[in-house]
Structure 1
């Protein structure tokens, strides 16, 4: 649709040139009906409810300037093109680089550890979103106005602090108990770091060689994924026995205050 759809890559022309759209007699026409081919050259042909005047003439000149960027090809079907690759074909790498806001040559060791760890792809993808702060914790939902009150944004595990990615996975008392047990199982004593990227790098450093480090990363992925799954089962399924397990363990360590 010429006016309604973002076919030229600058947003819909309907929104950008609202006054011209209101005057158009071709509001619901596709691009192919907005002109004609003449000796292999595309000619635009507009029909208006009345003669353009004043500022409308300037807006029309701006519209024709925008349309010069459209390279229409005769007798060829439309097709989707991925603009982040020179060949026009989609690639995971280019979308990853785009989301990271990095240049193609730049790498981050955290993501390298995540993608090469021996773990299912859905868990790796989850950890990737953790590093970007894009999991749907309640602080993000509050910002997007999916929920509306501070009480709704409290952590479902401890019920005391606003749920954020950092709190839920690293500093919540319930999560801390899990991490303390994991570190004790590995024979390590260390301070807890609330930043996901640094936390993972610290955890990977427990291993003495690359193979062991990948194993540590796999353990780290298992812990954060398990905490997220427990959280979701409490929130969405009301699985009370899981919550009781966390709280019975938590109450033994937090004192009576």
Structure 2
């Protein structure tokens, strides 16, 4: 089974590197300091694996590695060829020149302090106790350690992806959170849109269309958010960004199915605003906040009914009696 463990950091800045062990490769966070624990030496490749120090021997001694005819040999095989504690048989393809002998001396000096074999124990990967705890390495321990470094981003990531909505809606919410929505300003900055194309918002036609403007600050978009929240008797101040919107949204603690509705609302609104924007840009539709608000409630009701078992509200409850839903809060 491959030990390739690639993580999604949900927006975190985790530095990853590739490590090798026993002929397999995997990706870990550089801060985790995963290391090899020597057992019987059968799974450790003498030249390739970092079993003796922080660098593999092929990188530390490249001329000697190139001369070896047993590049894939295990540590156990190399040790089996020893005639005594200091006499290593590296199995080079030719006799060494004088200028190559210092490298051999340096290699022998390094091997003198190398970990010894333990008969009956399997070679394995472990965490470095100084930086990442203790115990054997596993995919689950790698995930647990890496997610512990994400902090608030992990909460937002779970908020986005652990939601009973279509993947396309959640993916757009993720793009909005990362400020990667392809607005006019975004495309102008990339050089995709020329100077002859207007960068102004299709809704208000007075402000350059950034993601925060199109999805939050535009008077048209704000009227939609106001309709959503005023219907539940909630007053708020407009957030600066989608990230701020998500943080505020998560700060409200609701219960049961009301919480599921509440957590789904911002993604349906964001996706519907952007889809309506595209209809106006590409299909010559006209901005219509009344129709869009009704469509948002219909989408929310149908998606939740389709994905949540025993959802207690009907489509009519959410579409026609939006204000009454707040009585369950």
> Normalised by the size of structure 1, how large is the TM-score?
0.55
- TM-aligned CA deviation for residue 209 of structure 1: 3.7
Point out the structure with max Rg over C-alpha: 2
What SS is found at the alignment partner of 1:152? coil
Q: What are the residue-to-residue correspondences of 1:67-146 with 2, within 5 Å? A: 87-88=3-4, 94=7, 96-97=8-9, 100-102=12-14, 104-105=146-147, 106-107=149-150, 108=153, 109-146=155-192
Q: 1:87 to 1:248 in 2, by over 3 A?
A: closer
What SS is found at the alignment partner of 1:148? coil
> Normalised by the size of structure 2, how large is the TM-score?
0.43
- TM-aligned CA deviation for residue 200 of structure 1: 1.6
State the number of aligned residues.
157
- TM-aligned CA deviation for residue 127 of structure 1: 0.6
Q: What are the residue-to-residue correspondences of 1:106-255 with 2, within 5 Å? A: 106-107=149-150, 108=153, 109-149=155-195, 152-209=198-255, 212-240=258-286, 243=287, 245-246=288-289
Displaced runs of 4+ in structure 1, greater than 2 A?
86-89, 96-107, 148-151, 203-215, 245-249
Q: 1:210 to 1:131 in 2, by over 3 A?
A: farther
What SS is found at the alignment partner of 1:238? coil
Q: For the Cα contact (< 8 Å) 1:150–1:162, is it kept in 2?
A: no
Higher relative contact order (CA 8 A, sep 6+): 2
What SS is found at the alignment partner of 2:263? helix
What SS is found at the alignment partner of 2:181? coil
Q: For the Cα contact (< 8 Å) 2:187–2:193, is it kept in 1?
A: yes
What SS is found at the alignment partner of 1:166? helix
Alignment partners' CA distance in 2, 1:211 and 1:101: 34
- TM-aligned CA deviation for residue 120 of structure 1: 1.0
Q: For the Cα contact (< 8 Å) 1:131–1:196, is it kept in 2?
A: yes
- TM-aligned CA deviation for residue 194 of structure 1: 2.2
Unaligned 5+ runs, structure 2: 15-28, 30-145, 293-329
Q: 1:236 to 1:88 in 2, by over 3 A?
A: same
Show CA shifts across 1:104-133 (max 9, x none): 233321111111122111111111111111
Alignment partners' CA distance in 1, 2:257 and 2:291: 37
- TM-aligned CA deviation for residue 88 of structure 1: 4.0
